[in-house]
Amino acid sequence: MKTKTLKHCSDEKGMALVIVLMVVMVFAILGSVFVARTVNEKNTAEREKLLNQAYYVAEAGADAGLAKLDSLINTDLLTTVNTTNPNILGNKAELYATNQDGLGFLVMYVKQNGTAQLVLNGTQAQYSSSNITLGSGTYRYDIVLQQKSNPVFIATDIWDFPYYYQVQTTATVQNVSRKIRLDGDLTVRVQRDNFAKFALFTDHHSLPSSATVWFTSQTNFAGPLHTNERYSFAFNPSGTFDGAVTQQHNSARFYNNGFNFLADADANGTTDLPIFNAGYTRGVSQIVLSSSVQQADLANQAKGGQNINSNGIYVPYSGSNLVGGIFVKGNPNITLGVDGSNNAKYTVQLGATTKVITVNRGANTTSVVTNGGAPVVYTGIPDGVDDLGTIIYVDGTVNNLNGIVQRDTELTVSSQYDINISGNIKYQNYTPGVGTPGTVGYIPPNATGETNLLGLVAWGGDVNITTTAPNNIELHGIVMARNGIFQVENYTNTGTGPRGAATLLGGVITQFYGAFGLYSSSTGGLIAGYGRNFVYDSRTLMGKTPPYFPSMKTFIAFTNDLTDKVSYQEGGF
């Protein structure tokens, strides 16, 4: 019995050992599964993290590629075209357009320091970046441009080159990659450069009397400035300039607490200290103001090629079709307006004759009513021979000008002599300013994204704000006095007191710098005339100009529709 009992105990111990081993194996397997699952989940989470990181790096790379494309066109191409001999550039642009070779034009003129930035590869032009590090990852992008359609001849010295583009970006973070593609289209416009882009241009930066014009803390310009002489700066600050400032002379004038002197410098220590946010370059080449040839062309555009010798108000036509613009021989009063159907309306009065000219752009018709009689309706609009935009040319002086520029209208009013502004001239569509000019929190007006645009060109006289104009006058447009000034009449008349601010939304191009107001020598406060509140119309910096506005000798090339219709796709290239 004892022996049997010992044997039974031994069997039980063996069975227990087997069970223990089986349990251990089960736990080992479960542990292995748990560890494997934990490792797998960790790897999955890590990969998901890397994928997200790679996505954000790729997104940043796509934005960088789009910014580079903008730089290729609006910096490299613009700079190369602008510095190319105008005659050569004009011939080349016409040749590429005639040969329907938009890609060839890009490869030829998208250069940086003379080095081509694009490579022609069959039916596309390409730019490829190097690998760029961002955080823990890297990205690279390829810009691909294809011709969307054949180049288009718009008018003399203006061509459009349309393209499709892709920005293909690959990002990598620890061997995990993501891809993003941006697609869109753009149109590069090549055109002769235009004076309308200047916030201020003077041939002689002084009053006609040769008196010095000082820039002070009251000076604030957002766009480009140029003078064919020199600028003068007084006090700290001596004005703030957000656009490029250039002058022909090598030296600037500094007030120096009344002991003024000339120096080839940006500032006079901290005594006379202007703020240049986009550079101040002295010793640049002279920019010649527009010639009489352009004036004659503008007049001919308005006359539609017809001979006009007698005083009168003319809307040149042939049969039932308009062939020119609006031409006035004499000294008229002109009111710009908008009728009840949102059509542009021009009321022109000359002596005993008044014509009301209404332009229906949608129907492509123009109605002319003389002295309240029956309307005569013509096909077409008064946009000159080349159909660039509405034009009014006055062979004489514009005695009074005021009104509203219709929202769909680009208009130039040009005169042989003076243009006298007797009231507000505003765009129908614009964003008004908020607050009081010159005070903290003031928000200036703007016309960003709008169509309405006005140019005023006085070829042989001045552009004057008259004594009948209202206080705090508003003027929207680009003002040019080819041989004169932009000024306020009788600005020294202290009997009327200060007239508030003259707010200009646009730019000024003049032979001399005109006076607007009279300031107290003791307090610096305005005692007569207007204070200047000149607000730059940034649309003109990207080539938007009033029709037939005087051009310069150089050419420019630009696009302003890069992100208008951009689409996004992840992967797939």
Do residues 566 and 542 both lie within one domain? no
For residues 514 and 548, what is the distance between their CA atoms, to the nearest angstrom?
24
Do 144 and 81 fall into the same domain? yes
Report the alpha-carbon distance of residue 44 to residue 570 in Å, rounded: 21
User: How far is residue 179's CA from residue 192's CA, in Å, rounded to a whole number?
Assistant: 40
CA 48, 50, 51, 55 torsion: positive or negative?
Answer: positive
Is residue 110 domain-resident?
yes
- Residue 434 DSSP class: B
Q: Are residues 234 and 260 in the same domain?
A: yes
User: In this predicted structure, what is the pLDDT of residue 213?
Assistant: 86
For the beta carbon of residue 437, count every other beta carbon within 10 angstroms. Answer: 17
Q: Under DSSP, is residue 429 helix (H, G, I), strand (E, B) or coil?
A: coil
Is residue 80 in a domain? yes
Type of residue found at 297: D
* CA dist., res. 81 & res. 552, Å (int): 13
User: Quick one: tokens of 345?
Assistant: 């309306």
Determine the 3-state secondary structure of 474 from DSSP.
strand
Looking at the fold, whether 264 and 280 belong to one and the same domain comes out as yes
Nearest-angstrom CA–CA distance, 332 and 394: 8
367 lies in some domain? no
| Predicted pLDDT at 31 | 65
Last residue of a domain, one of 224, 257, 288: 288
User: By the 8 A CB rule, do 163 and 183 touch?
Assistant: no
Q: Are residues 183 and 296 in the same domain?
A: no
φ and ψ at 238, to 5 degrees? Answer: -105, 40
Phi, psi of 400 (to 5 degrees): -145, 135
Place of tokens 């004489």: 396
Predicted pLDDT of residue 523: 67
Per-residue pLDDT of the chain (573 residues), as tens digits, is 445 555 555 566 667 666 767 767 776 676 666 656 655 655 666 667 777 888 999 999 999 999 999 999 999 999 999 888 777 888 899 999 999 999 999 999 999 999 999 999 999 999 999 999 998 899 999 999 999 999 999 888 899 999 999 999 999 999 899 999 999 999 999 988 888 989 999 999 999 999 998 888 777 888 899 999 999 999 888 888 888 999 999 999 999 999 999 999 999 999 999 999 999 999 998 888 866 668 988 999 999 989 999 999 999 999 999 999 999 999 999 999 999 999 999 999 999 999 999 999 999 999 999 999 999 999 999 999 989 899 999 999 999 999 999 999 999 999 999 999 999 999 999 999 998 876 778 888 999 999 999 999 999 999 999 999 999 999 999 999 999 999 999 988 888 889 988 999 999 999 999 988 887 766 667 888 898 888 999 898 877 899 999 888 788 888 888 887 788 888 767
The Cα–Cα gap between 264 and 270 comes to 16
Q: How far apart are CA 532 and CA 503, in angstroms?
A: 7
| Phi, psi for 436 (deg, rounded to 5) | -110, 125
What domain count does the chain have? Answer: 3
Question: What was the pLDDT predicted at 262?
Answer: 97
| One domain, residues 211 and 262 | yes
pTM above 0.85, yes or no: no
426 and 396, same domain (yes or no): yes
pLDDT of the residue at 37? 63
Please indicate, yes or no, if residue 78 is contained in any of the structural domains. Answer: yes
Q: Give, for 507, the enclosing helix (H) or strand (E).
A: strand 498-510
**Nearest 5°: phi and psi at 395?**
-85, 75
454 shares a domain with 437: yes
Query: Counting beta carbons within 10 angstroms of the beta carbon of residue 5, is it exposed (0 to 12), middle (13 to 18) or buried (19 or more)?
Result: exposed
**Residue type, position 456, single letter:** L
Q: Is residue 209 located within the same domain as residue 183? A: no
- pLDDT single digits (tens) 111-127: 999 999 999 999 999 99
- Residue whose token pair is 């703030």: 240
Residue 126 pairs in a beta bridge with 119, 144
Encode pLDDT of 176-187 as tens digits: 999 999 999 999
Q: How far is 412 from 453, CA to CA, in rounded Å?
A: 8
pLDDT digits (tens, 9 = 90+) for 3-27: 555 555 556 666 766 676 776 777 6
- Long-range contacts of the stretch 264-269 (C-beta < 8 A, 24+): 267/233, 267/238, 268/233
In-domain check, residue 1: no
Q: Is-contact 241 275, C-beta < 8 A?
A: yes
Query: DSSP letter string over 374-401?
Result: --EEEES-S-TTTT-SEEEEEES-EEEE
Q: 102 in helix, strand or coil?
A: helix
| 429 and 532 part of one domain | yes
**What long-range pairs does 59-64 form, CB within 8 A, spacing at least 24?**
59/180, 60/134, 60/139, 60/171, 61/132, 61/134, 61/139, 61/140, 61/141, 61/169, 61/170, 61/171, 61/180, 62/141, 62/167, 62/169, 62/180, 62/181, 62/182, 62/568, 64/129, 64/132, 64/139, 64/141
Question: Is residue 369 assigned to a domain?
Answer: no
Neighbours of 352 (CB within 10 A): 6
Strands 498-510 and 474-481, sheet pairing: parallel
Pair (410, 521) in one structural domain: yes
Give CA separation, 52 vs 132, 135, 177, 243, in Å.
18, 13, 10, 40
**What is d(CA 161, CA 150) in angstroms, rounded to the nearest whole number?**
7
Asked if 428 contacts 405 with a C-beta cutoff of 8 angstroms, the reply is yes
What is the rounded CA–CA span in Å between residue 64 and residue 58?
Answer: 10
How confident is the model at residue 139, as a pLDDT?
96
State which residues form the domain around 253: 204-288
Residues 131 and 224 in one domain: no
100 domain residue, yes or no: yes
Q: DSSP letters of 284-304?
A: PPP-PPPPHHHHHHHHHHHHT
Domain final position from 288, 319, 354: 288
Task: Please report, for residues 60, 253, 506, 509, 536, the alpha-carbon distance to residue 231 in angstroms, rounded to integers and kept in the order given.
Answer: 42, 6, 21, 15, 19
Rounded Cα distance, 126 and 364, in Å: 42
- The answer as to whether 279 is a domain residue is yes
Distance between CA 71 and CA 73 in Å, rounded? 5
